Structure 1
Amino acid sequence: MADVPLISAEQLHDHMNSGNSVRILDVRNQEEFDNWKIEGKKVKSMNIPYFNFLEEDETLLTALPKDEEMVVICSKGGSAQFVAETLADKGYKTSVLEGGMLAWSQFYHPTVVAFDEKMKLIQINRLSKGCLSYAVISEGKGMIVDANQNIEFYTELAQQYNFTIEHIVDSHLHADHISGGPALAKQTGATYYISSGEVKGTDLAYEPLEEHKSIRFGQVEVEVLALPTPGHTPGSTSFLLNNQFLMSGDTIFVGGLGRPDLGGKAKEWAQDLYDTVFNKVNQLSDEVLVLPAHYADIKEINDNGIVGATLGDIRNNNEIMRNSNREAFTEQVAGAASTEKPPNFEEIIAINRGELHVEPDRAIELEIGPNRCAVHHHE
């Protein structure tokens, strides 16, 4: 069989950002593909399951382009290798995503949001999950917000930008991915913060966020709106950075609000979310840039590669942010939230509370799949 090139997740991302279209042939089964796939503004994705190729049905090939390269993708890389080699023997241009969707799930991409003489703010996009984390750097010191599981990424980032990680915060108890916060704090000696309402009754080592009105380092002051900004979870907390940037966790998204039903108290938590939106966040300026912990649509990544929008734009574009009738708001949010929950969310929550410990391979496996932490409302 013909040799086909392997490309890494980082190389695939570079291709996706090159301005040229990228053709993906996904050979997982249709259910897996429909549930979770690689998306991009110029990605053209096709799904033909691997087993179809084993049947050597030549009619499959009529839908495949011969004039452009196809990146063949499967769960871990093996099936894609076979299909790519088979197609290459027939004259098609193919490459294989090394490690498949498993490798894509572990890819993190940093983008500088803001940089001046006082601080640097970096948004870290885990594209496979729509998860966003942040590094705030000032005078050689740093804070990591909503760290994901791969803590080596953050320690390497600290080396790259020459800062010491001193503060690590989780905006809330995550349900769709395993937090890297506690492990990163243990490795670096930094202080780990989370609201005590999220982890009370556990043995997790943490500093209660509600006991800190602000976290200051270098020339940065992070105001804890705390906030509490409950609603998605009771202890959800947002962070106002130098009165310019609101790291909103899963409370406010570019295109929606955090879903309040993951704790089984949709209406009760929706009432909390109402108070957050109309009694706390409404006091912030329209000019504040909202930087969430998740996004649900590739369209939320702007032309600068950043997921974020001013609070004014979100208020104007998100109808539910203007629905000041408490009862109608509660019904709308609680009703819309009752959709499919994040995969394995109960096990992931137990891990993030420090109540369950799993092997690294199991931890990676638990996170496979999409983010489902948002309730989206557009006009």
Structure 2
Amino acid sequence: MGARTLQAMTAKEVTQMLLNNEELFILDVRNTDDFDNWKIEGGKIEVVNVPYFDLLDGVDPALDKIPDGKKILVVCAKEGSSKFVGEQIVEAGRNNVYYLEGGMKSWSEYLEPIKVGDLKDGGELYQFVRIGKGCLSYMVISGGEAATVDTLRMTNVFEQFAKDKGAVIKHTIDTHLHADHISGGKLLADKTNAKYWLPPKDATEVVFEYTPLEDDNAITVGNTQIKIQPIYSPGHTIGSTSLIVDDQYLLSGDILFVQSIGRPDLAGKAEDWVGDLRTSLYKTYKSLSEDLIVLPAHFGQHTELGEDGKVAARLGDLYASNPGLNIESEEVFRSAVTDNLPPHPNSYQEIRQTNMGRVKPTEEEQREMEMGPNRCAIHDK
């Protein structure tokens, strides 16, 4: 028999169940609009939505939807409503009932570090998967030094990880000015006395100091000369810059994803930037080695999660399988990109202003700004 008391389940535990393909039944009690916009999904997770206000007089409307023999996780925005509903489900005689600790806010902020691989002359590369929002960050570690790429707002995670690995953070790098999440790159650089790099064409309105991320600036991490070579690749933004790490890995920012390509419109420049996007994908990237492993800054679908949750693909394989890389006509490409734009990310204008340093929202305001899925990709319909 399973436990007959309501238990907490952390975002980390949910992530492990998802990645391990373990069965989990989720009862999401948020309102329908919030549920339809963004939910926990993937692996062998089954999820249904019964709004909290439909359960105020009792949980009978939910009980007939809950299968026997599975772990039951009740989810809401912050955890309070899920506790209330979960306790009633336990009282109704169900076993193995949990609530999501911290609610969807904790799901949005959890980062899962995954080792990508070893570097040629020593050192390691790690990917940090923000499972609930589809954001991906990176850390290069070599010779007791570390560089982070597309650092997220939860800077303490990167600080602690580097400390555990015996490394000092020397560089933080943003491949572009982000619009769907708040960057932690500048904050982490200030906290660790590191150098903060940003493409200068994306930095015309920033109000803080930065080091220009440009093609002729190779960034060296550690004593083993693990070089990060910037490659200018505009299209998602005018300054978008990719990174080649150790001649093995292509950190593509938001230009190229595993199953899709980046959108060019988050600064209101879709018609202007779609040509740059095509040039970056069809010429700049095409000139690179097909054996480079592409590591994007986002994933849009849980089907992009590979072994152990890692999001990665060989560049040559993407030219064979990614729909966005297989549109021969420039006119058709332009139409495909500009006519199929998804909804804008939540609060994207405010997020851009925050990443420029022009506004300084509180921590709670930052959480609210980031709630919901990322929408940086144009997915094949």
Alignment TM class, shorter chain as reference:
over 0.9
Shift, 1:377, TM fit: 2.8
Give the distance between the partners of 1:24 and 1:121, measured in 2 at CA.
33
Give the distance between the partners of 1:133 and 1:252, measured in 2 at CA.
15
SS in 2 for 1:210: coil
What residue number does 1:231 align with?
235
Cα offsets for 1:86-107 (capped at 9, x unmatched)? 0100111211111100111110
Calculate percent identity across the aligned residue pairs: 37
Q: Does the 8 Å CA contact 2:58/2:88 hold for their aligned counterparts? A: no
Q: TM-score scaled to structure 2, two decimals?
A: 0.95
Counterpart among 357, 360, 377 of residue 360 in structure 2: 357
Counterpart among 49, 52, 55 of residue 54 in structure 2: 52
Q: Does the 8 Å CA contact 1:27/1:49 hold for their aligned counterparts? A: yes
Give the distance between the partners of 1:311 and 1:77, measured in 2 at CA.
41
Counterpart among 83, 86, 99 of residue 84 in structure 1: 86
Structure 1 residues 167 and 53 mapped into 2: Cα distance closer, same or farther (>3 Å)?
A: same
What residue number does 1:195 align with?
199
Give the distance between the partners of 1:324 and 1:101, measured in 2 at CA.
41
Q: TM-score scaled to structure 1, two decimals?
A: 0.95
What residue number does 2:371 align with?
368
Q: How does 1:128-207 map to 2 (within 5 A)?
A: 128-207=132-211
Give the distance between the partners of 1:114 and 1:60, measured in 2 at CA.
45
**Paired letter, 2:259:** G
**Paired letter, 2:229:** E
**Paired letter, 1:38:** I
What residue number does 1:36 align with?
38
Cα offsets for 1:47-95 (capped at 9, x unmatched)? 1111111133634422222322201110000000010000100111211
**Paired letter, 1:146:** D
Q: Find out whether 1:248 has 2:234 as its counterpart.
A: no
**Paired letter, 2:102:** G
Give the distance between the partners of 1:19 and 1:285, measured in 2 at CA.
34
Moved more, 262-271 or 177-186: 262-271
Q: How does 1:321-360 map to 2 (within 5 A)?
A: 321-337=325-341, 339-360=342-363
Moved more, 43-52 or 109-118: 109-118
Shift, 1:3, TM fit: 4.0
Q: Does the 8 Å CA contact 2:176/2:199 hold for their aligned counterparts? A: yes
Give the distance between the partners of 1:329 and 1:346, measured in 2 at CA.
26
Shift, 1:152, TM fit: 0.2
Q: How does 1:2-13 map to 2 (within 5 A)?
A: 3-13=5-15
Q: How does 1:306-321 map to 2 (within 5 A)?
A: 306-321=310-325
Q: Does the 8 Å CA contact 1:74/1:80 hold for their aligned counterparts? A: yes
What residue number does 2:307 align with?
303
The number of residue pairs the alignment matches comes to 374
Counterpart among 16, 19, 23 of residue 17 in structure 1: 19
SS in 2 for 1:165: strand
Give the distance between the partners of 2:260 and 2:354, measured in 1 at CA.
27
Counterpart among 94, 110, 113 of residue 113 in structure 2: 110
Q: Find out whether 1:98 has 2:101 as its counterpart.
A: yes
* Unpaired runs of at least 5, structure 2: none
Structure 1 residues 118 and 327 mapped into 2: Cα distance closer, same or farther (>3 Å)?
A: same
Structure 1 residues 19 and 318 mapped into 2: Cα distance closer, same or farther (>3 Å)?
A: closer
SS in 1 for 2:89: helix
SS in 2 for 1:363: helix
